[in-house]
Structures are given as structure tokens and as C-alpha cells.
Amino acid sequence: MSAGKFLATLGGTRFPTPPVWLMRQAGRYLPEYRAVRATTRSFLDFCYTPEKAVEVTLQPVRRFGLDAAIIFSDILVVPDALGQKVWFEEGEGPKLEPLTDPAQFGRLSRVRLIEHLAPVYRAIALARAALPQETALLGFAGAPFTLACYMIEGSGSRDFAKVKLWAYRHPDSFGLLIDLLAESVVDHLAYQVEAGADAVQLFDSWAGLLPEEQLFRWSLEPMVRIAQALKARHPMVPVIAFPRAVGPAALMYRRPDAFAALSIDTGIGAHWAAQELQPHICLQGNLDPMMLVAGGAAMKREARRILDKLAHGSFIFNLGHGVLQQTPPEHVAELVETVRQWTPSLA
Ligand code: CP3
């Protein structure tokens, strides 16, 4: 039975061309997504309706024949399941009733986490059953630091001053929040694997805010702890780490004892990554999402440049961050074709 190119690559097998999928491959750039999305007002209700979540999970796989699907959900379902108020405002992104005092941590509880997130696990089981055997299904979660960013700021932010000042001034209480989130994320990922996810990705989208010692403490260490706790329950499941915008501190995330692959953002040079990271760990990335908006010759040239640097080693083609809303879907088809037609240059 074929495990599929994506999982085989994580397991160390090499193919003439790398597997390809895209972060945020399901979303508003697809008209068929907008059609299903329009049937539910609240974004969280949409995430918690398994039939709709499955449909939009499958859409990009049907259209583009990608090597992996990622379950349609959001990182903020975890704070929602812990009892924090979370909602999404049209055109403004996520809103949360912010945590302003450690005393409020007491209101958060893991007791109903799994019950609350049952629709996500149901969607995973349905999606796994509907996908072709050779297409991998990814589960995911936000890493504790990125979740804490939204939970303390109450939304996105320009400088994330509140969360950083809390971490720097009151590391003990910040540590309690990080630990609660780490334990919750382990449970959430373990249930996704039990429902049928073949691999999982941890998104630390705001890791790049932290200087290196703080990065080690609040991003890397909890992510390693999560991966190892998950492995204790599911030894075979690959974990992909995406610490966004950490620059050369990506060196710290070369941890094959925890992660099967490291997802690199656009700010990391493919040449440097091939020399410093790839000998130690499978890489995923890192086309600029704006190149996918641009399309045409510029996009193809850039995709081939990345392939020339990284596709000789253990590699999964992806973007450096999520697909942008203004992306023409035809450009995604062109990108997938460019990856599948790549041949190593003889130079
Ligand atoms: O296709 C996929 O990648 C699966 C689904 C997915 C979503 N969010 C759906 C979504 C995944 C993996 C995420 C992860 C996520 N969510 C992250 C980490 C990755 C990253 O982008 O850095 C973060 C930080 C969030 C939090 C979040 N959710 C934000 C900031 C927003 C607003 C952004 C926007 O484009 O409006 C969301 C909403 C959201 N999550 C949408 C989608 C498709 C758009 C809302 C809609 O369709 O109504």
C-alpha cells in the first residue's frame, strides 16, 4: 500500500520531484470556498460544522491534485475550547476577550476541550475517508506562544507589547499559561491523530517577535515538549514545526528528536537553509506568497530557484506563509505544474 509521496518524504524517501502543498490552501481566494463559507455567518460555527469543513478541505486537492490536505479549522479553536470568548469580525480578523491578569487563567479549563473540539475530529475522520489514499491529511495547532499572543492582545497587534511585557515582567505566570496551552495542544493533536490525521503541523506564526533566549524558552522548548509528548502517545506521527520569521535562530529548531520537518518562511535564504538546516532535518517552504499572486515567469523562475537549492535533499515544496486572498487560483495550478516538471539542472 502506498503511503503517498508526502509521508514517504517525511520518512526519508526521495523522489525525482518533491511533494507539494500550500499553507492556507483552502480559503477565500477560491470561489468554491466563498460559496460554502456564505452559508454560515460565524466563522467558528463554520469550523465546527464537519460537512462544510470537509468540503473546503477537499476543494484545493480536487482542483490542484496536491500531495497533502490540511484539515479546515483554525488555531483559535483551542482558546475557544478553553472557555475564552473568541469571535471573528468580517474584514478585521480574530477578536478575543483579552486576558489582562493572571487571576483570569483560572477561568480557562481543559475539562471540556475534547468535547468542544469533537466536530474537528469528526471532520478529520470524514476527510480521511474521502481523500485518495496517496494524499496525506495534516492536522494542526497553534504553538503556545502564538496562541498566548492572541489571548493576551485580544487580536492581532502592531508591536505585541502586552504579551511581550507580560512574558518579560512576569515569566512565572506567563509560564503557567504556556504550560496550560502546551498540555491542551498535546491533547488536541493526539485526538486529531486518533481521528485519522497522518501528520501534524505546529504554527508558531509570531515566534519572530522574541529575542533568542526568550525564543528558546517560550517557543522552541514548548514545541519540543509538545512533539515529544505526542510521540509518547503516537510514536510514528510526524510533527512539522513552523517557527515563522526567526531568521538564523532557525538553527535551534534542527531537532530531529522532536520534529520530522522544519517549515521555513520566505526570509530564510534557500542556499543557507540547504547548507545549515537540510543536512539535519527535512525542510518545507518557502516561496513568497506574493510570488504566487504575481504568477507568470517571475513565479516560475523563483520556484525553480528554490527547487534547484533544496530539491536535491529532503524537501516538501510549500510557501513561506499562507496563500493570500488576492491569489488567482490559476497561479496555484501553474505552480504545482512547475514543481512537478522540475528537473535538476546539470550545472
Ligand atoms: O487551508 C488551511 O490552511 C487550513 C485552515 C487554516 C485557517 N487558519 C483557516 C482560516 C489554518 C491552518 C489556519 C491557521 C491560523 N489561523 C494561523 C497560523 C498560520 C498563519 O497564518 O500564520 C493563525 C495566526 C490564525 C488566526 C487567524 N484566523 C487569523 C489571523 C485570521 C484572519 C486572517 C484573514 O485572512 O482574515 C483567521 C481567519 C481564518 N482562518 C480564515 C481562514 C480561511 C479567513 C476567515 C473566513 O474565511 O471567513
Domains of the chain by start residue, with CATH:
4-341 (3.20.20.210)
What pLDDT sits at residue 241?
Answer: 99
* Residue 152 alpha carbon to ligand 1 centre in Å: 18
Which residue lies with its CA nearest to atom 13 of ligand 1? 74
Q: What are phi and psi of 110, to 5 degrees?
A: -80, -5
What pLDDT sits at residue 286?
Answer: 98
pTM over cut 0.95: yes
* Residue 74 alpha carbon to ligand 1 centre in Å: 6
* Residue 93 alpha carbon to ligand 1 centre in Å: 9
pLDDT digits (tens, 9 = 90+) for 175-204: 999 999 999 999 999 999 999 999 999 999
Instruction: Give the three cell numbers for residue 202.
Output: 505546529
What pLDDT sits at residue 347?
Answer: 56
* Per-residue confidence in pLDDT tens, the chain, 347 aa: 457 999 999 999 999 999 999 999 999 999 999 999 999 999 999 999 999 999 999 999 999 999 999 999 999 999 999 999 999 998 899 999 999 998 898 899 999 999 999 999 999 999 999 999 999 999 999 999 999 999 999 999 999 999 999 999 999 999 999 999 999 999 999 999 999 999 999 999 999 999 999 999 999 999 999 999 999 999 999 999 999 999 999 999 999 999 999 999 999 999 999 999 999 999 999 999 999 999 999 999 999 999 999 999 999 999 999 999 999 999 999 999 999 999 987 55
CB-neighbour burial class of residue 133 (10 A; exposed 0-12, middle 13-18, buried 19+): exposed
If one counts every other C-beta atom within 10 angstroms of the C-beta of residue 346, the result is 4
H-type alpha helices, the chain? 5-10, 31-37, 43-47, 50-64, 77-82, 113-116, 118-130, 144-153, 161-169, 171-195, 212-215, 221-233, 270-276, 289-294, 296-310, 329-341
pLDDT digits (tens, 9 = 90+) for 307-343: 999 999 999 999 999 999 999 999 999 999 999 999 9
What pLDDT sits at residue 346?
Answer: 59
Q: What are phi and psi of 256, to 5 degrees?
A: -60, -15
What pLDDT sits at residue 1?
Answer: 43
Which residue lies with its CA nearest to atom 8 of ligand 1? 74
Provide Rg for the chain, Cα atoms: 19
Q: Is 6 in the pocket of ligand 1 (CB under 6 A)?
A: no
What pLDDT sits at residue 345?
Answer: 77
Q: Is 334 in the pocket of ligand 1 (CB under 6 A)?
A: no
Instruction: Give the three cell numbers for residue 144.
Output: 503556545
Tell me how far apart the alpha carbons of residues 113 and 58 are, in angstroms, rounded to a whole number.
Answer: 26
Q: Which residues are catalytic?
A: 24, 28, 37, 74, 150
For residue 249, give the 3-state DSSP assignment: helix
What pLDDT sits at residue 187?
Answer: 98
Ligand 1 pocket mutation pick from 75, 131, 292 by most atoms within 8 angstroms of CB: 75
Q: Could you tell me which of 188, 75, 67, 198 has the C-alpha nearest to residue 128?
A: 198
Tell me how far apart the alpha carbons of residues 179 and 34 are, in angstroms, rounded to a whole number.
Answer: 37
What pLDDT sits at residue 170?
Answer: 96
